[in-house]
A and B are shown apart, each in its own frame.
Chain A
Amino acid sequence: MFDTEVINTDISEKLAILGAAAKYDVACTSSGVDRAGRKGGVGSTVASGICHSFAADGRCISLLKVLLSNSCVFDCSYCVNRRTNDIKRASFEPRELADLTMQFYRRNYIEGLFLSSAVIRNPDYTCEQMIKVLEILRNEYRFMGYIHAKAIPGADELLIRRIGLLADRMSVNIELPSQKSLQLLAPDKSKEKILNPMRTIQRSITESRTELVRYKSAPRFAPAGQSTQMIVGASPETDYQILTLAAALYRGYGLKRVFYSAYIPMVESRNLPALTTKPPLLREHRLYQADWLMRFYEFEPSELLDEKNPNFNPFVDPKCSWALSHLDRFPVEINSAEYETLLRIPGVGVKSAKKIVAARRSGPLDFEGLKKLGVVLKRAQYFILCKGKAMEGVRLSRESILRGLMSDRSMQLLDGLAGEQLSLYDNETVTRADVIKCLTGQM
């Protein structure tokens, strides 16, 4: 049978196994809470989070992200740690992991610990082991750095509450964006098993905030809030479904962040995409862009996508795409438009919109000035006027805008894309003309 026995391995081998097993959890931020260091303690946290390194895949490394153990009694079919998979198993001793965290933290390798685990024996036992690690860190070593802990679905509410009092952020991963896909691919989990701990965490966070108003010394429950992750591309949900679910989670469960993870096939199963399928990285990228628009630009999912166009356009980003289908709202006069209107212009970000509002109070802005404020004129030029005039040589027609937007970013993307999203076109080589046709709705 399969060897789920924990082999006695030395720490470097454990780190290799349990680091590799945790890396598909994409959240690695240390953000959401500001805590200055205190006498008698070690460490601090910074609200914006700090990246300590960037891995070869370009992603931020902020936390020591490991599983406490990869010996799982569950059997989720998309997961390498599932019971029926024949892999090397390892578990950290709680103290061993706490010591490693402190040693890495001292050297400024990390902002803290991201602790997750496969289900050892049962969910409650797993949580108890995790609590041991966190208690050593917080109570014995007076560790004041960042801790992100995953709640184990199916664990007792009281245990989840105890973890939340030790951690800065908690997460429960939704993983699959619909009940149907969950049933098919993660038979040991159910929507309830995932949503219940999410609700517990949300309630505890709210309670702790109200308490804090009354007593300053009240214990803080996950002060950096909670987050979740969804796998994109393992199951058939559309971008529209995923984004709508994300919006509902932000609203209904007060989540701080939803992370999206392009599915990388590692498991042969008839319910999953073939092993040769490339991870949908561009799709993931578009979802992050749209998520960003929802959180900072006050876009609703229904403004970006709908039943008829349920997936993002691979060639232009969601904001450009939105602007292209709302050309009647443009061009916008930079010197008088409201902040909210400025935010909707492609090429104008939160920072540059704020700068525009500040700078135009001391005199009208021209295109030269906009460049100095960090506006990306290459994109913005099609959508704006300065003192009533468009930028020289720019024609504000749909066709010319498309040509302009195509010429820079998207064509680059196209090069990197072969084999991924382009299967949309049945392996035909996509030409520039095709792209424009596709966008103008002629294809």
Chain B
Amino acid sequence: MPDRSDVVYSYDGSFRGLMTCVYESFYAREIPGNIVSWSHGQATLYDVKEIKTDSEKARKVMKAISEKISGEAMTFVYHAFLTCLCGREAHILDFIYLGFKYGRKVMRMLTDETVYILNKAVGHLLNETALLRGFVRFSDFGGGLVATIEPKNNVLPILKYHFLSRYPQGFFLIHDKTNSLLLIADRGKSRIISVDGFTPPSAESDELRYRALWKSFYDTIAVEGRENPKCRMSHMPKRYWANMTEMSDRQGRGLFLERGLIPEGK
């Protein structure tokens, strides 16, 4: 592995872009001091080398990772890219160099600092994706389903598979506010696009009725005498609550009560 140099790579923020950076590093025999995406464009004292995304170069790198390290390592690298780990690009590059040196064994080197850091970040990503399979709340707008999420990691590229399988016939949107992305799914086909803002239409009476029913079910189901707010919080961290029907806007219950959508005294 060459020494770390003073040059900083700048790329377009896409996965292929990052793979092109790896290609560049390999053939220029240099390890960039950092790899940053254009959108982060902060001024730096280092020389900046702009890396233009090249699908062919990216493909070669991915093939090399799969063949010289393992398919498992390739998936791992992609997942690492989706994490919110600060400076993940540089860690991923280190990992790939490590993998080329040690081969498939690198995945077992769990105490190596680079592997450890990436493993932790990927664990966080996969855990968040798993939680969101349950915590996503859709609203029904005349047959189409719309949900908003605010994850820490870029979960949509993985999360989508779950919902595509769950609603094979459906039309649904998931808006990722954190990463300004929108998943559009229509009868089993999907794509993810960048969006600046997205406002779902306002809910109609049927939608409000089912929300109210769900909230009242939620309140009913807890067993009195067993309240355990700490336990609830550790399983369902507060930062997800804002987008969960039963947790957000608890004061809105007054409104539902007024309209007679929830029985009194419940």
Contacts and interface: CB of A to CB of B under 8 A. Distances in A.
Contacts of B214: 104, 107, 109
Contact of A53 (B105, B138, B169, B218): B218
Contacts of A331: none
B97 interface: no
A57 B223 contact: yes
Interface string B117-143: 000000000000010011111111000
A339 B170 CA distance: 46
A23 B245 CA distance: 20
Interface residues of B, number: 56
A202 B245 CA distance: 39
A276 B130 CA distance: 40
Contacts of B109: 359, 362-363
A52 B134 contact: yes
Interface in B179-219: 188, 210, 212-214, 216-218
A154 interface: no
B235 A54 contact: yes
Given A44-B165, A362-B105, A372-B111, A12 B262 contact: yes
Contacts of A361: 105, 108
Given A37-B166, A107-B137, A109-B214, A53 B244 contact: yes
Contacts of B162: 44, 46
Given A12-B213, A37-B168, A278-B225, A362 B108 contact: yes
Contacts, number: 165
Contacts of B263: 12-13, 16
A107 B108 contact: no
Contacts of B246: 53, 109
Contacts of A73: none
Interface stretch (B34-42, B54-62, B88-96, B226-234): B226-234
B239 to A, nearest CB: 14
A61 interface: yes
B48 interface: no
A51 B134 contact: yes
A106 interface: yes
B220 A103 contact: no
Given A37-B166, A38-B168, A24 B223 contact: yes
Contact of A46 (B133, B231, B232, B244): B133
A24 B222 CA distance: 9
B147 interface: yes
Given A37-B168, A43-B166, A58 B110 contact: no
A39 B188 contact: yes
Interface in A151-179: none
A19 B221 contact: yes
Nearest to A39: B168
A60 interface: yes
B261 A372 contact: no
Nearest to A105: B166
A64 interface: yes
B78 interface: no
Given A42-B167, A107-B140, A108-B138, A54 B232 contact: yes
A365 B189 CA distance: 47
B137 A109 contact: yes
Interface in B235-256: 235-236, 244-247
B141 to A, nearest CB: 11
B226 A279 contact: yes
A90 to B, nearest CB: 11
B221 to A, nearest CB: 5
Nearest to B212: A12
B88 to A, nearest CB: 18
Contacts of A36: 165
Contact of B136 (A103, A108, A363): A108
Nearest to B168: A37
Nearest to A13: B263
Nearest to A359: B110
B167 A53 contact: no
B223 A23 contact: yes
Interface in A18-54: 19-20, 23-24, 36-44, 46, 50-54
B116 A372 contact: yes
B220 A53 contact: no
Contacts of B167: 37, 42-43, 106
A281 B226 CA distance: 8
B232 A19 contact: no
A350 B179 CA distance: 35
Contact of B111 (A41, A281, A359): A359
Nearest to A358: B108
A213 interface: no
A355 interface: yes
Nearest to A23: B221
Q: Which of A11, A50, A64: most chain B Cβ within 10 A?
A: A50
B160 to A, nearest CB: 13
B145 interface: yes
Nearest to B166: A44
A373 B232 CA distance: 26
Contacts of B228: 56-58
Contacts of B165: 36-37, 44
Contact of A15 (B138, B140, B170, B216): B216
A56 B213 contact: no
Nearest to A368: B111
B168 A41 contact: yes
A91 B28 CA distance: 74
Given A37-B167, A42-B169, A53-B135, 20 more contacts: A12-B263, A15-B220, A23-B222, A23-B223, A37-B166, A39-B169, A40-B169, A43-B166, A43-B167, A50-B130, A53-B218, A56-B228, A64-B217, A103-B140, A107-B138, A107-B139, A111-B134, A361-B105, A363-B109, A369-B111
22 contacts: A12-B261, A23-B223, A24-B223, A41-B168, A52-B134, A52-B135, A55-B232, A57-B222, A57-B223, A57-B226, A59-B223, A106-B140, A106-B145, A107-B137, A107-B139, A107-B214, A108-B138, A108-B166, A109-B137, A278-B225, A361-B105, A361-B108
Across the A-B interface, the 3 shortest Cβ-Cβ residue pairs: A58-B231, A58-B228, A369-B111
Interface of A: 11-13, 15-16, 19-20, 23-24, 36-44, 46, 50-62, 64-65, 100, 103-104, 106-109, 111, 262, 264, 278-279, 281, 355, 358-359, 361-363, 365, 368-369, 372-373
